[in-house]
Structure 1
Amino acid sequence: MRIHILKQTPDETIDFARLYSAYQKHGAILLRGGTMNLEKFEAIANYFCDRFHHVGGRSAMRQDQGDGFTTGVWAGNMDKLAHTEGSYRPAIHRPDTAFFCCVVPPSASGGETTLFDGAEMLQHLPKDLARRFREQGIIYEMTWQPERWSAEFDVENEVQLREYLARFPEARYSLENGTLHLFYSAPAIFSVDGVDAFANGILNHLPAIDHPAYAHSTIYTKPSNRVSFGDGEPLSSEVYNQLIDVQDKVIYKHQWQKHDVVIINNLRYMHGRTMTSEECERTLLSRFGKTAQRHRADA
């Protein structure tokens, strides 16, 4: 894939309309050369979007200033595989746009944010596998303790949790002694402007990983996380490894410079990250939103 670059001088005022027009055309853009801070970063996002996604797993990384929807990213040194944000669980406003801003680039090699065009991934999938994903969709399975489901759904108690989940016929669950066992049915393939894309959270919801290319990598897994086809058959290790092979064919590695802003369509493009060769600071801001009504009306 390619990312469209828009260059800016440090003292140049951000042209929001130009930025959004480039995003509409290309779906993945980089703003480079200007100066960026939290206020400017949120102003860009607020021009694009009018509703924002609550990233429950990052509650502790919310910025002290701003409106509370901008968070840092995980500081741990790890690889994260291709995924779209917020696709693994029910959400009132699934984010269609992802924003990233570099505050401190890594001083060591590695630490890139990885991008993947879901349309390219779909083309490389084995045809039988792609057909099954298209026809059946997928089911995410997870088990969460109260602190996790409270953060994920921004609720305070079990009554509020049940009220929230009742909005989603595609979700089924059990709740016992505070432990939530959730199943969420969702598409694996989305159509964006008439282009089908394999764009989902499968590879960020792994119960385990045994791919030889990642034998020496640190990758988040959780045994209670599972993904099944829509008919209930769990994805096998072979299927996971096929998906990893495909993501590695189409991977784009973005090397960060200070003040870079990357914006991608979260319904088509997936993102991840690579480990750094040694421990070092790597500080990024992220934000996820839904396209503003004024832009949807103009589409």
Structure 2
Amino acid sequence: MKYTLKNREKGEIQIVEANAALGLDALTREDVLELVKAHGAVLFRGFDTNLDAFSALVSRASDKVTLDPARKHFSDNAQLVDAGTDPVGLHLENGNAPNLPDLAWFYCKKAAKRGSQTTYCDGYSVLDDLDPACNQDFTTRQIKYARHLPEALWKKYTLNEVDGLERIEQVTFEHLQQLAAHNPGQTFTLLEDGVVYSELVVPAIRQSKFSQVKGFANSLLGPSYNYEPPKITFGDDQKIDEAVWQHINEVTEAHTKNIDWQDHDVVVLDNTRVMHGRREIIDTDRELFNALSYVA
């Protein structure tokens, strides 16, 4: 075997340790996707790697790679995680965007000497501990994210998501509308100043893209570092009660665990099942990169 699986409890990340001086090129697409299917969250440790090898692994295991237009781009697929130093709430990557990536990837080039952990929370574990009324609410009702998108950001996003576009000057509102056409929960309204008003109605409880597992997997608690914070309601615009927000915070925090990074660790998350966030950044010398991708 080229790697060893370390023991794990339900809801914990599966650590995959290299058995020899192997690079990431030893990992096949099938290796990665089978591990994601089985565990939801996977950490590859002890592999000889660098940013280019990480980028190549993302490409090998994916059918399409996308980018967050608000982040710095460092290789074909990888972007720097640079959203300030404050703690970041649990979320699915691009969980309130028109297209939800299937996989969220991370590469730790240089680990923090203290604190600054990435957090993760398996929505499959959370679901069992929601109280019956809350579970029923989110099972039978959808949630809505509403926000304004500046012209520069929605055009950059559209450039990455719509096939056939090569330059941002080619992007029009009609191209953005193509994304809404493939997602019945998404609507866009173009305002006079080029800003787009976006409403996205999606489930808070969803089935994993890779397995039959259902989980409380969403961006209700997520950040808006580079974007206007969304207004979050139920899909019918009804306000979510403060008691519900408090319950969600308590249950998810009980299931939230830390990734204590080591240099050259690689993590891949099922972005349709496992939420992630981070603790406060104490060591600003850490270097962490991420990538987003889709699997057909």
User: TM-score, length-normalised on structure 2?
Assistant: 0.83
Instruction: Please give the per-residue CA displacement for 1:140-196, whole angstroms capped at 9, x wherever unaligned.
Output: 111122122223323634343345444433222322222211111111111232221
Over the residues paired in the alignment, what is the CA RMSD in angstroms?
A: 2.3
Count how many residue pairs are aligned between Structure 1 and Structure 2: 270
Alignment of 1:169-248 (within 5 A): 169-177=184-192, 178-192=194-208, 193-204=211-222, 220=225, 225-248=230-253
Specify every segment of 5 or more residues in structure 1 that has no aligned partner in the other structure, as ranges: 207-219, 294-299
Q: Residue 286 of structure 1 aligns to which amino acid in structure 2? A: N
Asked if residue 99 in structure 1 is aligned to residue 138 in structure 2, the reply is no
CA contact (8 A) 2:70 2:226 kept: no
Structure 1 residue aligned with 2:291:
287
Change beyond 3 A, Cα 1:176–1:16: same
Moved more, 34-43 or 1-10: 1-10
Give the distance between the partners of 2:229 and 2:172, measured in 1 at CA: 22
Alignment of 1:41-80 (within 5 A): 41-58=54-71, 61-63=72-74, 65=75, 67=76, 69-80=77-88
Q: Residue 49 of structure 1 aligns to which amino acid in structure 2? A: S
Give the distance between the partners of 1:280 and 1:54, measured in 2 at CA: 23
Moved more, 223-232 or 138-147: 223-232
Q: Residue 151 of structure 1 aligns to which amino acid in structure 2? A: K
1:5 maps to which of 12, 15, 22: 15
CA contact (8 A) 2:78 2:290 kept: yes
User: TM-score, length-normalised on structure 1?
Assistant: 0.82
CA contact (8 A) 1:205 1:225 kept: no
CA contact (8 A) 1:7 1:33 kept: yes
CA contact (8 A) 2:112 2:283 kept: no
Q: Residue 270 of structure 2 aligns to which amino acid in structure 1? A: N
Specify every segment of 5 or more residues in structure 2 that has no aligned partner in the other structure, as ranges: 1-10, 160-167
Give the distance between the partners of 2:228 and 2:239, measured in 1 at CA: 13
Give the distance between the partners of 2:93 and 2:228, measured in 1 at CA: 20
SS of the aligned residue for 2:115 comes to coil
Change beyond 3 A, Cα 1:38–1:53: same
Change beyond 3 A, Cα 1:241–1:289: same
Same amino acid, percent of matched pairs: 26
Give the distance between the partners of 1:98 and 1:119, measured in 2 at CA: 17
CA contact (8 A) 1:205 1:226 kept: no
Change beyond 3 A, Cα 1:50–1:163: closer
Structure 1 residue aligned with 2:92:
84
CA contact (8 A) 1:83 1:201 kept: yes
